[in-house]
Chains A and B, each alone.
Chain A
Amino acid sequence: MGFLQLEQVSKLYGEFAAVRDFDLEIERGEFISLLGPSGCGKTTTLQMIAGLVTPTNGRITLDGRDITREKPARRGLGVVFQSYALFPHMTVAQNVAFGLEMRKVAKAERDRQVAEILSLVKLTSLADRYPREMSGGQRQRVAIARALVIKPPVLLLDEPLSNLDAKLREEMQFELRRIQRVVGITTIMVTHDQAEALSISDRVVVMEGGKITQVDHPYSLYEHPKNNFISSFVGKSNFLAARAMNEATGVSLRVDNTDLKIPATGSYPGGELCLSVRPEKIRLTDPAGAMLHGPVSSRYFLGNHWLLSVSTPAGEISVAVANLGAPPPSEGDITGLTWNIEECRVLAAEQESALQS
Chain B
Amino acid sequence: MTGAATRTQPRPLAPFLLAAPATLLFVGLILLPLALTAVLSFNVYDYSSGVRNQYTTANYLTVLQDPYYLAIFWRTLRLALLTTVIAVLLGTPEAYILTRMGKPWRSIFLLVIIGPLLVSVVVRTFGWSMLLGRDGLVNHALAVLGLEPVQLLYTETAIVIALVHIMLPFMVIPVWTALQKLDPTVEAAALSLGASRFTALRRVVFPQATLGILSGSLIVFGLSASAFAIPGLLGGRRLKMAATVVYDEYLIELNWPLGAAIAIIVLLANLAIMLAYNRMVERQAKRRLG
- Contact residues of A with B, CB < 8 Å? 13, 47, 51-54, 71-72
Is B8 located at the chain interface by the 8 A CB criterion?
Answer: yes
Who on chain B is nearest to A51 by CB? B8
A47 and B5: CB pair below 8 A?
Answer: no
B8 and A72: CB pair below 8 A?
Answer: yes
**A47 CA / B8 CA spacing, docked (Å):** 10
Using Cβ atoms and an 8 Å threshold, which residues of chain A touch B6?
47, 52-53
Q: How large is the interface on B (under 10, 10 to 19, 20 to 34, 35 or more residues)?
A: under 10
B5 and A71: CB pair below 8 A?
Answer: no
List 11 contacting pairs A-B, 8 Å CB cutoff, sorted by A. Answer: A13-B5, A47-B6, A51-B8, A52-B6, A52-B8, A53-B6, A54-B8, A54-B9, A71-B8, A71-B9, A72-B8
B15-43 residues with Cβ-Cβ distance < 8 A to A are: none
Using Cβ atoms and an 8 Å threshold, which residues of chain A touch B5?
13
A-B pairs with lowest CB-CB distance, top 4: A71-B8, A52-B6, A53-B6, A72-B8
Using Cβ atoms and an 8 Å threshold, which residues of chain B touch A53?
6
Who on chain A is nearest to B5 by CB? A13
**A251 CA / B26 CA spacing, docked (Å):** 81
Q: Is the interface of A mostly helix, strand, loop or mixed?
A: loop
**A2 CA / B268 CA spacing, docked (Å):** 69
Contact with A along B1-15 (1 / 0, CB 8 A): 000011011000000
Using Cβ atoms and an 8 Å threshold, which residues of chain B touch A47?
6
Q: How far is the CB of A125 from chain B (nearest CB, A)?
A: 35
**A71 CA / B9 CA spacing, docked (Å):** 9
**A72 CA / B7 CA spacing, docked (Å):** 11
Using Cβ atoms and an 8 Å threshold, which residues of chain A touch B9?
54, 71
Using Cβ atoms and an 8 Å threshold, which residues of chain B touch A13?
5
8 further A-B pairs in the complex, CB-CB below 8 A; given A13-B5, A47-B6, A52-B8: A51-B8, A52-B6, A53-B6, A54-B8, A54-B9, A71-B8, A71-B9, A72-B8
Q: How far is the CB of B11 from chain A (nearest CB, A)?
A: 12
Q: How far is the CB of B2 from chain A (nearest CB, A)?
A: 11
Using Cβ atoms and an 8 Å threshold, which residues of chain B touch A52?
6, 8
Using Cβ atoms and an 8 Å threshold, which residues of chain B touch A71?
8-9
**A51 CA / B9 CA spacing, docked (Å):** 10
**A54 CA / B8 CA spacing, docked (Å):** 6
Q: How far is the CB of B3 from chain A (nearest CB, A)?
A: 11
**A72 CA / B5 CA spacing, docked (Å):** 15
Using Cβ atoms and an 8 Å threshold, which residues of chain B touch A72?
8
Who on chain A is nearest to B9 by CB? A54
Q: How far is the CB of A53 from chain B (nearest CB, A)?
A: 6
**A134 CA / B68 CA spacing, docked (Å):** 70
Contact with A along B100-128 (1 / 0, CB 8 A): 00000000000000000000000000000
**A52 CA / B9 CA spacing, docked (Å):** 9
Q: How far is the CB of A91 from chain B (nearest CB, A)?
A: 26
Using Cβ atoms and an 8 Å threshold, which residues of chain B touch A54?
8-9
Who on chain B is nearest to A44 by CB? B6
Contact with A along B159-193 (1 / 0, CB 8 A): 00000000000000000000000000000000000
Using Cβ atoms and an 8 Å threshold, which residues of chain B touch A51?
8
